[in-house]
């Protein structure tokens, strides 16, 4: 007599055991959308009242090329801008620096002065568009460019809308585009939060990001826990400088990844809202309901896309888009089919945008608020994820918080271990990637129309930044940089006014960063990576 088949063990990406059938869910009170703890969404009507912002991530080459892409996407129905910067801009180097050689305009747009920012937004009125800027170590400089551009256009800073990512802690954990040591970097983040609370009230000065940690290999549980732990550090830093929680918390925002583990991702977003609301209310005593709302942008997972059979990526992105929408995101970027090989072409970017629009207008997902609430499976996943998040948060708290955990290499080690597990599962075919380790084609040629940024962009940008230095009032620029130096040498002076002064004097990204390097130094991790 044959032995009975061994029950199949199935787990989510985060290692949560999945039963073959769910007949009930944990007895937890869900509450209502738009009400504490916001598990079901931060607005009562959600997408019945207003769709999420369709904010495609764009930027490459020089400012003029990026301006054309911005305007093309806006003409095709994009409802917000999201700006990508090249590595020299992110690391505080001008295009003519030896450190910038070969990287100018390659993974984003090169912005080295207010002149570049003016070209990037030519014929785009800042009073009519919301702009997100994925920038961290040099975020204060790029925000200063944007504020200055607004003034040139006639839009006061109080009316500017948008976000600077400005989450430096996750750079030490997963992305590595940091410049200064953690404490100096935290000062810059705090300065921006404080300045925006007073002068740019519609701006989100920091977007606390789990995206890059997830792309580096974290689980959904780790993504939420590590992101919220970093948020606690930023909040603590602001309170330590005398700010009241309700003065700045409503303008904190978040940025998450959405992978292809459909139901776990939806549960992840619900849990993130609930845990954050509880922390803001019970730990920090926030009274303003807007302080308790975890507002987040989502980007579909670039790491999940394959260089093989690139058209399959359209299907992957569509599933991830639906998960982000059912999870209640406030804005969304959908990756393009060819991003495993190059920056997206204009046509690929349009298809990615159309994916959002099809979900919004054709799928029916926006006809009711919180369509999946009450799903036995979904609510069971929420319970498991939430328990895991609280365990991590308690462990990080015992270590002394995020900065201490980063210095010890705890976050990095946890992510690295899970990344190894995922890679091993793919290598042994335990995890199937369609078109790569199963259903592969013998001949799989890449698309012929990949976007390539020519080396001439770097040469042209080098000439342009030299021309800026030659034409400006050199004494004013030198004086502005000296003022910035003196402000940085103090322990508590907010640096944003001095950075704005340097920008108005047409100082460059590299000059401003070098001035701060003279005071803060450059961070070099010791034994944690």
Give CA torsion, residues 58, 336, 93, 502, to 10 deg: 20
Whether residue 2 has pLDDT greater than 60? no
Average pLDDT over residues 256-279: 98
Report the percent of the chain where pLDDT is more than 70: 98
Whether residue 1 has pLDDT greater than 90? no
- Mean pLDDT of all residues belonging to the chain: 95
Q: What confidence tier does 427 reach under pLDDT thresholds 50, 70, 90?
A: very high
Residues 6+ apart with CB under 8 A from 191: 140, 494, 495, 496
Average pLDDT over residues 122-139: 97
d(CA 131, CA 163): 6
Whether residue 174 has pLDDT greater than 60? yes
pLDDT of residue 272: 98
Whether residue 415 has pLDDT greater than 90? yes
Whether residue 27 has pLDDT greater than 80? no
Whether residue 20 has pLDDT greater than 90? no
Query: Which tokens belong to 211?
Result: 């995206």
pLDDT digits (tens, 9 = 90+) for 305-331: 999 999 999 999 999 999 999 999 999
Q: Are 57 and 333 in contact (CB under 8 A)?
A: yes
Whether residue 486 has pLDDT greater than 50? yes
d(CA 41, CA 301): 22
On whether the pTM is more than 0.85, the answer is: yes
Return the ∠ at Cα 259 (arms to 257 and 262), rounded to 5°.
125
Average pLDDT over residues 392-411: 96
Helix, strand, coil share of the chain (percent; to 5): 50, 10, 40
In the block, tokens 């994009």 appear at 78
Strands (E), 199-295: 203-204, 206-209, 252-258
Q: What confidence tier does 201 reach under pLDDT thresholds 50, 70, 90?
A: very high
Give the distance, in angstroms, between the CA of residue 52 and the centroid of all CA atoms in the same chain: 16
DSSP 161: -
d(CA 163, CA 203): 6
pLDDT digits (tens, 9 = 90+) for 488-523: 999 889 999 999 999 999 999 999 999 999 999 999
In the block, tokens 């705090």 appear at 190
pLDDT digits (tens, 9 = 90+) for 132-149: 999 999 999 999 999 999
Give CA torsion, residues 398, 403, 405, 409, to 10 deg: -170
Q: Say which residue, 363 or 491, is predicted with more confidence.
A: 363
pLDDT of residue 197: 96
Q: What are phi and psi of 250, to 5 degrees?
A: -60, -20
Domains of the chain (ranges plus CATH)?
A: 10-36+50-365+374-427 (3.20.20.240)
Least confident of 7-21, 41-55, 313-327: 7-21
Q: What are phi and psi of 49, to 5 degrees?
A: -95, -40
Whether residue 109 has pLDDT greater than 90? yes
Whether residue 527 has pLDDT greater than 60? no
d(CA 516, CA 519): 5
d(CA 96, CA 470): 14
pLDDT of residue 223: 98
pLDDT of residue 529: 40
Residues 6+ apart with CB under 8 A from 305: 313, 316, 317, 335, 337, 339, 340
Length of the chain in residues, anyone? 529
Q: What confidence tier does 528 reach under pLDDT thresholds 50, 70, 90?
A: very low
Three-class DSSP category at 55: strand
pLDDT digits (tens, 9 = 90+) for 229-252: 999 999 999 999 999 999 999 999
Q: Which of 80, 98, 92 is nearest to 514 (CA)?
A: 92
DSSP 451: -
pLDDT of residue 258: 98
């Amino acid at each position: 007599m044959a032995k009975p088949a061994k029950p199949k063990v199935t787990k989510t990406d985060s290692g949560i055991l999945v039963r073959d059938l769910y007949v009930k869910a944990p007895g937890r009170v869900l509450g209502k959308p738009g009400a504490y703890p916001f598990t079901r969404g931060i607005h009562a009507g959600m997408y019945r009242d207003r769709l999420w912002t369709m904010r495609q991530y764009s930027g490459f080459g020089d400012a003029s090329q990026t301006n054309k892409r911005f305007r093309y996407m806006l003409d095709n129905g994009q409802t917000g801008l999201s700006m990508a910067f090249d590595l020299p801009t992110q690391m505080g180097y001008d295009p003519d620096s030896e450190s910038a050689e070969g990287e100018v305009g390659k993974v984003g747009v090169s912005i080295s002065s207010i002149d570049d920012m003016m070209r990037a937004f030519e014929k785009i009125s800042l009073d009519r568009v919301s702009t997100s800027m994925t920038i961290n170590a040099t975020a204060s400089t790029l925000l200063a460019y944007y504020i200055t551009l607004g003034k040139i256009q006639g839009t006061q800073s109080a009316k500017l809308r948008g976000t600077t990512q400005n989450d430096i802690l996750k750079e030490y954990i997963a992305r590595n585009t940091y410049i200064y040591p953690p404490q100096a970097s935290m000062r810059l983040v705090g300065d921006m939060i404080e300045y925006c609370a007073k002068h740019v009230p519609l701006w989100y000065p920091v977007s606390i990001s789990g995206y890059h940690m997830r792309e580096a290999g974290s689980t959904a549980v780790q993504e939420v826990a590590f992101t919220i732990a970093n948020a606690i550090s930023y909040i603590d830093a602001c309170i330590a400088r005398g700010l009241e929680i309700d003065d700045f918390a409503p303008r904190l925002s978040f940025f998450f990844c959405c992978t292809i583990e459909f139901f776990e991702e939806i549960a992840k977003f619900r849990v993130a809202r609930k845990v954050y609301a509880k922390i803001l209310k019970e730990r920090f005593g926030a009274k303003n309901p807007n302080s308790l709302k975890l507002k987040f942008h989502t980007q579909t997972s670039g790491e999940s896309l394959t260089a093989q059979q690139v058209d399959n990526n359209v299907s992957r992105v569509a599933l991830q888009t639906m998960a982000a929408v059912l999870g209640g995101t406030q804005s969304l970027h959908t990756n393009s089919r060819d991003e495993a090989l190059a920056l997206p072409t204009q046509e690929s970017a349009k298809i990615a945008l159309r994916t959002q629009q099809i979900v919004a207008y054709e799928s029916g997902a926006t006809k009711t608020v919180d369509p999946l609430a009450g799903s036995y499976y979904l609510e069971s996943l929420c319970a498991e994820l939430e328990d895991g998040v609280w365990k991590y948060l308690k462990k990080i708290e015992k270590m002394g918080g995020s900065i201490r955990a980063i210095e010890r290499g705890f976050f990095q080690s946890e992510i690295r271990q899970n990344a190894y597990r995922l890679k091993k599962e793919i290598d042994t075919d335990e995890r199937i990637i369609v078109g790569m380790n199963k259903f592969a084609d013998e001949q799989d040629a890449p698309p012929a129309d990949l976007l390539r940024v020519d080396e001439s962009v770097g040469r042209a940008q080098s000439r342009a930044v030299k021309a800026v230095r030659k034409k400006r009032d050199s004494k004013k620029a030198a004086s502005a940089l000296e003022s910035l130096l003196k402000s940085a040498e103090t322990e508590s002076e907010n640096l944003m006014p001095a950075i704005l002064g340097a920008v108005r004097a047409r100082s460059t990204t590299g000059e401003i960063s070098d001035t701060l390097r003279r005071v803060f130094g450059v961070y070099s991790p010791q034994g944690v990576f």
